[in-house]
A = this chain, B = another copy of it.
Amino acid sequence: MERDHVKVLADSMKRLMRRGGITHLRKMVNNAHASDLASVFRSMSFSSQKKLLDLVEDIDGKSALFAELDTDILNALVEGMEVDDVATILEKMPADDAADLIGKLPEKKSAALLKAINWEGSEDVEGLLKYKDDTAGGIMVTDFISLKEETTAKEAIASLQNEHMDVEMPFYLYVVDDYGKLVGVCSLRQLVTVPPATPLRSFMATDVFKVKTYTDQEKVAKIVSNYDILAVPVVDDENVMAGIVTVDDVIDIIRAEATEDILKMAGAGEEFVETKSVIKSTKIRLPWLFASCLGGIMAFFIIGRFEETLQQVTSLAAFIPVIMGMGGNIGTQSSTIVVRGLATGRLQIDDLWNVVLKELAIGLILGFVYGALIGIVAQFNYSTPALAFAVGLAVISSMSVAALVGSMVPMFFGRIGVDPAVATGPFVTTAIDIISVFVYFMLATVFLGL
């Protein structure tokens, strides 16, 4: 439903643009949900994007759209705009989104923008810019409700009606002491279910989940999702509240981190590149392939060293693909399970040997199964038991080494603090290729007595 909806919207808008039906187009653009409009922008050319943006009538609409647009589309659009116009839109955006946008612009532009922004919240944006993008500080919003312990439920409700109209997610009220330090939390629901004169102190929960401004965003996401909460407060080292991270941002993080892991493991960069140009995509993918190219050239030199063996038994060449393929595929299984297991918390880095030994056992069992199968095929074709034996043994060793390397490398990288996903993908596959080929020719040379 949702995808079709966006598709219909995009098609109608394209048709209206071709026909010059500006009045209709304007109505359609201004009635669309910002999230849908942002999806429509993905399938539009740059000039159409500019045209559509101009049709958005009020600043609120523009800022809602800005908050939803993909970074690369947004940057391209902002580049062509007047600083003052951008500033007017940013003034209406939530501080965290505005900070994100400014942080990604060229320095000259971002400095000019910060100067041009004229806004009670501009110090928030400048404040947020000092936190790293992937920490709690970088993703938090600074609009939250904090009240003193002695505030009554009735006063708290009144403050919701007057002061806190712009807070994004007013479902938790944070309770602070006289020094601004976080001491408790109550829910909006509690406010309406206790007698009006009850002070917050007497019904707040004091066992508050919280994170530090420098906590990694992945950890923040885990806390929010493991404990099923809608927002987590962010405090500094003095326990003074700096902001909150809300569940909708956590969803974006979880999705982005999964995409990042998947792409890294496939050696296809970190960010989603399909919307970028052919040249940009090529540039991102080129270096990863270089690793595999180097590995292939190494395998070439290894096989070159066994040229004599090969000249005597040409048929050895025919088994190279199956031996490499079986090793490569089981290695991918192992490394994928470990990388994803570490990312989701199903595996712990400290369990290194448990995990690796289990993978090795699986590699050995599967190696025996497929080694026997492929050995039999070899025997049927060449009726040379020594060859069949060498091939079967090569499959077993290739598969068990692959399971070992595939599980050990990401565990090891995780332990020394390198992202397991980036360290895995092409590197593991390439290493396994080289080892498989080498072991295969060694075994063949020995068994065939060459």
Give residues in A with beta carbon < 8 Å to B: 1-3, 6-7, 33, 35-36, 39, 42-43, 157, 160-161, 165, 170-171, 188-189, 191-193, 211, 215, 219, 222-228, 230, 247-248, 250-252, 254-255, 258-259, 261-263, 265-268, 272-275, 278, 281-282, 285-286, 288-289, 292-293, 295-297, 299-301, 303-304, 307, 310-311, 314-326, 328-330, 332-333, 335-338, 340-341, 344-348, 350-351, 355, 358, 361-362, 365-366, 369-370, 373-374, 377, 381, 426, 429-430, 433, 437
Contact = CB atoms under 8 A, between A and B. Distances in A.
Nearest to A259: B340
Contact of A320 (B251, B321, B338): B321
Contacts of A307: 314-315, 318
B337 A273 contact: yes
Contacts of A273: 337
28 contacts: A1-B211, A2-B226, A3-B222, A43-B348, A157-B192, A170-B189, A171-B189, A225-B255, A230-B230, A247-B251, A262-B336, A263-B337, A266-B337, A274-B337, A278-B362, A288-B333, A292-B328, A293-B370, A295-B321, A297-B377, A299-B321, A299-B322, A303-B318, A304-B318, A307-B318, A314-B314, A317-B317, A325-B433
Contact of A188 (B161, B188, B274): B188
A362 B282 contact: yes
Contact of A192 (B192, B230, B263): B192
Given A303-B318, A317-B303, A262 B258 contact: yes
A321 B300 contact: yes
A332 to B, nearest CB: 5
**Taking chain A's interface residues, is the majority helix, strand, or loop, or is none over half, making it mixed?**
helix
A333 B258 contact: no
Given A188-B189, A318-B304, A337-B274, A362 B285 contact: yes
A121 to B, nearest CB: 19
A321 B303 contact: yes
Contacts of A318: 299-301, 303-304, 307
A263 B346 contact: no
A293 B314 contact: no
Given A193-B161, A273-B337, A321-B437, A344 B300 contact: no
A388 B325 CA distance: 25
B267 A332 contact: yes
B259 A344 contact: yes
